[in-house]
Amino acid sequence: MASEVFVIKGTDPAEMAYKAINKAFREDAAGKSVLLKVNTGFKGPAASGLCTHPEVVRGLIRFFKERDVGRLYVGDSSIVGTDSMEALRSAGIFDVCAEEGVQCVSLDDFGMEEVTIPDPVMVDSLKLSRLPFQVDLLISVPVMKTHMYAGATLGIKNLKGCMYQKDKTRLHRIHRQPPDSSKGKCLDYGIMDLAKVCYPDYTVADGFI
C-alpha cells in the first residue's frame, strides 16, 4: 500500500498539525496508548527550528484526546550529554504537556530492550527504549531540518531518539564498508537497520517557519 502524503499550509502550527493528522488518521484510537515521539535531541529555545514546535505538539495532543485514547505520552531521548527533560522544557513541550494534562517523558526512563535486526546491513542489534514497543501507536513528530551527515532529519531518522542512551552513538561509529557508497553512508544504512524494528505508524513533520 502506497503511503499518503499531505501538505498543510497556514500560520497556526497547532491547527496545521491537527489538520494534517486528521487527514491521514482513519482508525479507531479509543482506549489505545499513543507515543508522540518529538524531536528534542538538542537543548534549544521553543519555536527556534531546532526542536519540534510546541504548538505542533499541542495540536496532536488535542486530536488524540478527542479520540479518547487510553494513555498519551510525549517524549524523546536527547543526545549523549544533554538532559532529555531539560531539552523538553527548553523547547516549550513540557509546558504544553502540563497545560494539556498529558505525560511528558524521557524515553530512557522506561528501560532498555536489545532488539535483533532482521537481515542486518550495518548492525546486528540495537538497544532501544521499551516505550515505543509498549504503545499501540507510534507517531513520529520530527522538525524538518538539514543534518550534517544524513542530509535531513525527517520521520525515520527522528526515531534514532528511541535508541537507548549512549547506544545512539553506535550508528556514528560503524567501521564497515557500506553496500553502495553512492546511495548512502554508514549512518544512512544504520538508520535503515533501525527502521526494520522501529517504524512509525504515522509521521507529522514540523516544517513551520
Q: Name all domains of the chain by residue range, CATH numbers in brackets.
A: 13-203 (3.40.50.11440)
- The SS3 of residue 86 is helix
Instruction: Tell me what pLDDT residue 150 has.
Output: 59
The alpha-helical segments, DSSP class H, found in 125-170 are: 131-134
Please give the grid coordinates belonging to residue 201. 505508524
Please give the grid coordinates belonging to residue 46. 521553543
Global pTM value: 0.93
- Nearest-angstrom CA–CA distance, 165 and 143: 21
Instruction: Tell me what pLDDT residue 147 has.
Output: 66
Instruction: Tell me what pLDDT residue 169 has.
Output: 80
Please give the grid coordinates belonging to residue 134. 509498549
For residue 83, how many other CB atoms are within 10 A of its CB?
12
- Name the pairing type of β-strands 125-129 and 112-116: antiparallel
27-31 contacts, C-beta under 8 A, 24 or more apart: 28/67, 29/64, 29/67, 29/68, 29/69, 29/137, 30/67, 30/68, 30/69, 30/70, 31/68, 31/69, 31/70
Instruction: Tell me what pLDDT residue 182 has.
Output: 67
DSSP characters over 178-196? -S-TTT--HHHHHHHHHHH
Instruction: Tell me what pLDDT residue 186 has.
Output: 75
Predicted confidence pLDDT, tens digits, the chain (209 residues): 678 999 999 999 999 999 999 999 999 999 999 999 999 998 988 888 889 999 999 999 999 999 999 999 999 999 888 999 999 999 999 999 999 999 999 999 999 999 999 999 989 999 999 999 999 999 999 998 876 665 677 889 899 999 988 888 887 777 777 776 766 777 888 899 999 999 999 999 999 87
Instruction: Tell me what pLDDT residue 149 has.
Output: 62
Task: Output phi, psi for 9, to 5 deg.
Answer: -110, 150
The amino acid that residue 139 corresponds to is I
- Nearest-angstrom CA–CA distance, 12 and 56: 9
